[in-house]
Structure 1
Amino acid sequence: MTRTTPPRPLDVASAFPELAGMVRTATRLHPRPGSPTVRESSVGGPLLWPAGEAWPSCSAEHDAPFPLNTPEEVRTLRRIRAREEWTDEDHAEVSRIHAGHDPSLLPEGPHPLIPVAQLYARDVPDLPFPEGTDLLQVLWCPFIDIEDQPGTDAVQLRWRRAGEVAEVLAAAPEPAYVGTYELVPVPCVLHPERVREYPAAHDLSPEQAGRVPRGEGEGAAGYRGALSVAPGWKAGGWAAPFTFRDSGGPEELRCGECAAVGEPLLTLDHSEWDAETVSWRPVEEAADASSTPTEVTVGGGYTLQFYACPADPRHPPVTVMQ
């Protein structure tokens, strides 16, 4: 099933001509739980990974303040939660999983990374694919401090040419434990859709920001919620709004390799829509549809944005929690 974003409640370019030249195209990924294959774009799905290429790992020391779970326990917990009725055994298993394992059991690194997203150029043309590549793979180490690990290998990108992968890795390595199941994406198929975006308020001049509407409440035509940046998981476009803090400006987006200011690459949002952004809910979705299909939560439900180096997208991304 395709996913279609409703028209915006206001034509931004007509209402605010000074913003007309600031429009960008983004690709809303519209992830929904499913069974993607290595030949498909996905969130949390299997990767088209060469059998002879080493699987990436993270050597950083991670904070583990909560009881740990194995990846298989995360999958088991989700299977049980999806059932309409639970048996006594189900309740006992959920209690056991919630109790978790002592963080002291966490082995010293390196820890194998887990797949976050796989994006083929045919589905997401709004990404800066380096010449000769048509596939982007994103992996991370599922611990709560990933957004505070600049310059480490906790988040890694792989740009490759899909046609050059002859033999595919049969089974990817997994970390012994994950820091939180909220950083393990539910395997999702994608329903890509290109949309037009305008910059969030922090990317506007003070004069521009003062002119845009600030509607409040569910369905309101406020600039932040309805007229500027699409919510949910997306590729390209503009940076997500800052919520719990102010933007650090260009300085916090500088590439660690060459100091170029990064551009939005991938946005990982807790929800596909909420009360403020409900006007972005696809027309095909029922009012009671789940707005959290990936079950990924960063921080307290914030947005994690990956910024790519415009000089060379192969440089390590900058990650910012917004």
Structure 2
Amino acid sequence: MVNEKTKIRLKETRKSWIFLLKVLFYFVLYWRYDRILDELLPIFPLFDNFLKALTFMLGGNILVSLGRILSVHFYLRKKGQDPLQSNFVLGINRIAGILNVAILTISMMFLFGIKPLEFFTSITIVAAAIALLSKDYITNMINGLIIMFSDQLSLGDIVKIGDHQGKVIDVTLLNMVLINEDSDIVMIPNSSVLTSQILNHSKQNIKKLTFEFEMKITKSLEVNQIESRLRETLNSFDTYINKNSINLKTMAIQKEGVKFKFQFLLSSPKRDKEKEIKRIINQTIIEIACDN
């Protein structure tokens, strides 16, 4: 996690230098505003609108950048040596992006000679209709911000959301993006994330593996023998498995077969070892089924 903090600090240092350059340019522009206007307005009649738009956009962007830089700085300082919640910084950046889009929109109005206050007053009814039509998108955006500032989920966590399981690689204003074990990118709407049952394996520091299978009923079928063989398969993974958690349950006895559930906890969840354990257990189950 220290590496993650270092990366964020390096990015913030670069952004701070860019911020200082923008502030310097803004003060030069503000100081020379009247002179620039007097010299170029006769040549370019619309230069007044351009200068107003540029000044507003640059000033607004500086304020947003200042708020973003201070928020990230105080957050990093507050965390100190504590684990970093990287999606907090992501949330701050998303909010800054939304505000910059709003500033750019108003700047374009200045450029085309439109008065923003009169414009927004005149389209109040239209804006209300647009808000109603796009309420699902707005809900998703709000839920996305809630997820970003939540301490329950972080970038890099291994989670199970509904039927989907994988690593959280991004949280946008519309979706949470996971990458599963097959390297498939799964995008789940933020509203679905908040209304689904979430299992966060990274927060638990343990992970439960479950294998459900069915055995045909034969005279040689013995539950104790099945459990013993599965336990023996796990002997070479003692450092990764909590042996006291190993459990074989009989879920249902049907006319032609018996349904089982085999479970245990990984005490040290590692993706490569998890895949290896799954492969060996599945192979053992197949061999037991063939023997019976």
* TM > 0.5: no
Q: Which has the higher helix share?
A: 2
| TM-score normalised by length of structure 1 | 0.19
Q: TM-score, normalised by structure 2?
A: 0.20
When Rg is computed on C-alpha atoms for both structures, the one with the higher figure is 2
Q: Relative contact order, CA 8 A, sep 6+: which one is greater?
A: 1
